[in-house]
Amino acid sequence: MKPPPPPPLTSVSSFIFRPPKANHKSPLQTLVSYFLTLDSAPSQTPPSPQSKPPKPIANNSFYGPALDKSARRRWFSTGPSDPGEIAVASTPLEGSPPIDAGSSIRKPISLWPGMYNSPVTNALWEARSSIFENLSDVPTDAPSESELITKTPSQSRTSILYKFSTDYVLREQYRNPWNRIRMGKLLEDLDALAGTISYKHCCNNDGTARPVLLVTASVDKMVLKKSIRVDTDLRLAGAVTWVGRSSMEIQLEVTQSSEGTSNPLDSVALVANFTFVARDSKTGISALVNKILPETEREKILWEEAEERNKTRKQKKGQHKKQVKDGEADRLKELLAEGRIFCDMPALADRDSILIRDTSHENSLICQPQQRNIHGRIFGGFLMRRAFELAFATAYAFAGSAPRFVELDHVDFLRPVDVGNFLRLKSCVLYTELENPTRPLINVEVVAHVTRPEYRSSEVSNKFYFTFTIRPEDVKNEQRIRTVVPATEEEARRVIERMDAEGL
């Protein structure tokens, strides 16, 4: 007696590869065709409890790690009824639901770039797809300034909710070995969220957008105000707060509820300001962006603060070289004094000091297509995550215990990184601050070099500066943090440059 045929396919987790019959498609082609059919088909109703789908023959690595039972019952998220609307949670009205950070897990394999990054990045880039579907109908001629529309900050406001308290699969993707949040992945998500917000601002009211390139130009200093837990729901929210001629600033807030307090300010864990610039997709020159009109008092204050930051950035570019030269000779001599002893008389060197070069680490990789953004270049959030993880490892090896992230200083994205580039990340402990014995600070520099062996060239793409500390219990155990000293004039100049930037 033959067994009864299996019930019809109703979810991704029950998909089974079977040999093709009438056609000659490969299993991968069959799978992609099936996904495209599901995306275009009307939404289905979940199966009844009596009809159980067949179990898969084996865990398919095509989907990544196996999901738990609750995750396997998830359904594809349906897009908004308006095809021009961005499929992320915009909150111009109070109470509008945020995007679910685990929603991209419901989505099967995606043909969009960047799907191999964090689940939030995947969800945000999927949300941008509706914009690019409408690009073909948009005139290629750049509009004049009078043709640009004016938008409010609330029209670009977007939020994401990480349901860590109930979503085990999502929580595991963001948990580090010490049961805390993976800050590198959070930095990656912040950059992706800022990019989505910038695209929402550049859209027209009918959902169409000009084919412009929006890239991360810089990130202002991020200071972690409180530790972020991985077992409590987390929210990311932000909006465009300031607009220039071809640039815009996006402010993001990371909030997590605090036990025993009802003050909303106590829930803010981190505030980040991203600057994006617009470029014409054909010529590469700067492109005009929509204007902004702050409405509320809070929005007007944020606009004034962003305007002041923009002026300060321009002033620093012109004044930086002059500031470094003032008293430079004496400062260089003082910094190099101990370093000379290490090089010339190592037996007499201070045992509580160490050379900068002896704290260095390096990581090299070939930039893969899976790490690209929607413009075909390497995603800026990916670079920040890799830089953070290397900096964390450098501070870990230096301090002898797992460090705690304190802040990320201002970042300028100097040069784009393309698919196929040979990227070298070099890190070192640049200097330490030991004035407060209960909270020693470890300042780590990470420099990203784009190396092209076929052209015998190497250029700096980005510089990242992270600050870490060690846990209070390690301080109580009298763990020693050494002073870091330069051995060359070039290293001493880098230290002076960073100390000036920090106001030390």
pLDDT tens digits along 300-319: 999 999 999 888 877 776 55
* Better-scored residue on pLDDT, 190 or 210: 190
Whether the full predicted model's pTM is greater than 0.85, yes or no, is no
* CA 246 – CA 279 distance, rounded (Å): 8
Lowest mean pLDDT among 111-125, 152-166, 219-233, 408-422: 111-125
pLDDT at 289 over 80: yes
* CA 183 – CA 160 distance, rounded (Å): 16
Residue ranges per structural domain of the chain: 1-76, 77-314, 327-502
Q: Which residue(s) pair with 432 in the sheet? A: 442
490-495 long-range CB contacts below 8 Å, 24 or more apart? 491/339, 491/356, 491/357, 492/331, 492/332, 492/335, 492/336, 492/339, 493/324, 493/332, 494/430, 494/445, 495/335, 495/356, 495/430, 495/431
pLDDT tier at 1 (50, 70, 90 boundaries)? low
Strands 150-151 vs 291-292: parallel, antiparallel or unpaired: parallel
Q: Which two tokens stand for residue 348?
A: 């007499």
Q: Which two tokens stand for residue 248?
A: 């815009």
* CA 98 – CA 438 distance, rounded (Å): 39
pLDDT at 78 over 50: no
pLDDT tier at 243 (50, 70, 90 boundaries)? very high
Highest mean pLDDT among 78-82, 322-326, 386-390, 499-503: 386-390
pLDDT at 22 over 70: no
pLDDT at 155 over 70: yes
* CA 426 – CA 494 distance, rounded (Å): 14
Q: What is the 3-state secondary structure (H, E, C) of 32-51?
A: HHHHHHHHHCCCCCCCCCCC
Cα angle: 42, vertex 45, 49; to 5 degrees: 160
326: exposed, middle or buried (Cβ count in 10 Å: 0-12, 13-18, 19+): exposed
CA distances from 121 to 36, 54, 195, 449, 451 (A): 21, 31, 10, 24, 27
Q: For residues 387, 388, 394 and 395, what is the CA-based torsion angle, rounded to 10 degrees?
A: 150
Q: What is the pLDDT of residue 125?
A: 66
pLDDT at 123 over 80: no
Q: What is the pLDDT of residue 169?
A: 86
Query: What would the mean pLDDT of 411-420 be, rounded to a whole number?
Result: 86
**Considering the domain 327-502 in this protein, what is its CATH number?**
3.10.129.10
**Considering the domain 77-314 in this protein, what is its CATH number?**
3.10.129.10
Q: What is the pLDDT of residue 90?
A: 36
pLDDT at 370 over 70: yes
* Better-scored residue on pLDDT, 295 or 262: 295
Cα dihedral 389, 395, 398, 402 sign: negative
pLDDT at 130 over 60: no
Rounded to the nearest 5°, which phi and psi values hold at 269? -100, -30
pLDDT tier at 415 (50, 70, 90 boundaries)? confident
Task: Return mean pLDDT, the chain.
Answer: 75
How is 391-442 classified by DSSP, letter by letter?
HHHHHHHHHSS--EEEEE--EEB-S--BTT-EEEEEEEEEEEE-SSTTS-EE
Q: Which two tokens stand for residue 304?
A: 């004034």
* Better-scored residue on pLDDT, 80 or 440: 440
Q: Which residues, 6+ apart, have CB-to-CB distance to 67 below 8 Å?
A: 13, 105, 169
Q: What is the pLDDT of residue 119?
A: 72
Query: How many C-beta atoms surround the C-beta of residue 244 within 10 A?
Result: 17
- Helix and strand counts by DSSP (H, E) for the chain: 11, 17
Cα Rg of the chain, angstroms: 25
Domains 77-314 and 327-502 share a fold: yes
CA distances from 302 to 187, 298, 407, 502 (A): 22, 6, 21, 23
pLDDT tens profile 319-360: 555 554 556 777 888 888 888 888 888 888 888 899 999 999
* Better-scored residue on pLDDT, 104 or 401: 401
Helix (H) or strand (E) holding 382: helix 380-399
Query: What would the mean pLDDT of 362-377 be, rounded to a whole number?
Result: 82
pLDDT at 463 over 80: yes
Q: What is the pLDDT of residue 503?
A: 73
Residue for token pair 């008092």: 297
pLDDT tens profile 193-232: 998 899 889 888 776 667 788 888 899 989 999 989 999 9
